[in-house]
Amino acid sequence: MPIVNDALRSSTHPMLSLIAIVMLVLLSACGQETDNNSGNRHESKEHLVVVTRVHEGDLSRSYERRGILKARRSVRIHTLEEGMVISLPWYEGDAVKQGDELVHLDDELLQAELAKESARLDKETQDLKRLQRLTKSKAASIDELVTAQTEVAVQQAEVTRLKTHIRRTSIKAPFDGIITERLLEAGDLATENSHFLTLVDPQSLVIDLSLPEFLLLQFKPQMQAAIRFGEHSQNDEQWYPATISRIYPTIDETTAMGLMELKPLTLPQDVLIGQTVNVRLETALKHQISIPYQALQQSRDGHYVYVVEENKALKRPVKAAFFGSRQIVISSGLSDGETIVTRGFLGLEDGADIKIAESK
């Protein structure tokens, strides 16, 4: 107010005095507004965030994957001879027993050939017996006897060859199984080595399951699992026990996926080879660092998190090894006990000052 008084004294005109007072009031108001804005800007530098502490521990995991039911023992049955199909009574889905005749080919000509060669063998056998008697009485030479013995042996081999051909016109089931393919019909002319049936062993049914490398390494043969057959099956709600029978020793370089095989311990009646199977696996992951889903961020350079150090949010790259239902397992980039940001990422930058609104 001393300045105002000086201005009033130095001016003899009332209007000039009024102008001076208004200007002083406006300057004072601008100064206060500037101070207030500076304070607001200072306060806005602290970014509000929600944080959580990183813990290392054992995680129990239960997850479902889809596999394919297949028969490990499947045989493509081929003809061994050429001939017309006389009998082929089996169709897809039929169950056969070991030793059942699957197909019979026309063997009429082979039987006739066998009868002829068998008669020739009988004659040569009689000739050999006669020469053996003559040789004892010195009426036939040793050379004649050896020739007769050779002819009998050759004829025996010919008879055996024909019998083998005839036997091969009838194909029998090598094991108990189910027919899955029928490729010839009665009356067809089958060439040698024609594929005419496919037979699978229902006792050899297994489930092939593809899993990522990280997950595959958590399991070993003989571990337990559960299986369910199809979302629309009448057995939809029923789980059946299974065991891991083998883990294949290779990983696909492109997809980083490996293969697991499971053996069902019991099966429903209505399953089909090639059917999709839901597989439930459970395992305990030892000494793993996991974080909530919302803590993991992603950019073109990969995954990262914001680690809190001295009230600052520091951007740090991490490697996500496995995505669970609620948590993400981190294989590198974080240590037990560190604090990370889980909420408040909008506008958050690397190195920004933060204020913790909540710690979980």
Q: What tokens does 259 get?
A: 């293969």
Q: How far apart are CA 16 and CA 26, in angstroms?
A: 16
Do 241 and 307 lie in one domain? The reply is no
Q: What is the pLDDT along the chain (360 residues), one digit of tens a residue?
A: 444 444 444 444 555 555 655 565 455 544 554 444 444 444 447 899 999 999 888 777 777 899 999 999 999 999 999 999 999 999 999 999 999 999 999 999 999 999 999 999 999 999 999 988 898 888 888 888 899 999 999 999 999 999 999 999 999 999 999 999 999 999 999 999 999 999 999 999 999 999 988 788 888 999 999 999 865 444 456 899 999 999 999 999 988 899 999 999 988 887 889 999 999 998 777 788 889 989 999 999 999 999 999 999 999 999 987 766 678 888 889 999 999 999 999 999 999 999 998 887
Give yes or no for a contact between 323 and 332, defined as CB atoms under 8 angstroms apart.
no
**β-pairing, 95-96 with 55-71?**
unpaired
Residues 82 and 170 in one domain: yes
Q: Check residue 224 and give left, alpha or beta (phi > 0: left; psi -120 to 50: alpha).
A: beta
Together in a domain, 249 and 299: no
Over 221-266, what HEC string results? CCCEEEEEECCCCCCCCCCEEEEEEEEEEEECCCCCEEEEEEEECC
Q: Please indicate, yes or no, whether residues 136 and 153 belong to a single structural domain of this protein.
A: yes
- pLDDT score, position 40: 47
Is 216 found in the same domain as 238?
A: yes
Per the structure, the count of domains in the chain is 4
Q: Are residues 92 and 185 in the same domain?
A: yes
Contacts of range 300-308, beta carbons closer than 8 Å, 24 or more positions apart: 305/333, 305/334, 305/340, 305/341, 306/49, 306/340, 306/341, 306/345, 306/348, 306/350, 307/334, 307/338, 307/339, 307/340, 307/341, 308/49, 308/51, 308/338, 308/339, 308/340, 308/341, 308/354, 308/356
Is 191 in the same domain as 91? Answer: yes
Domain of residue 9 covers 2-40
CATH of the domain at 209: 2.40.30.170
Domain C-terminal end among 182, 200, 218: 200
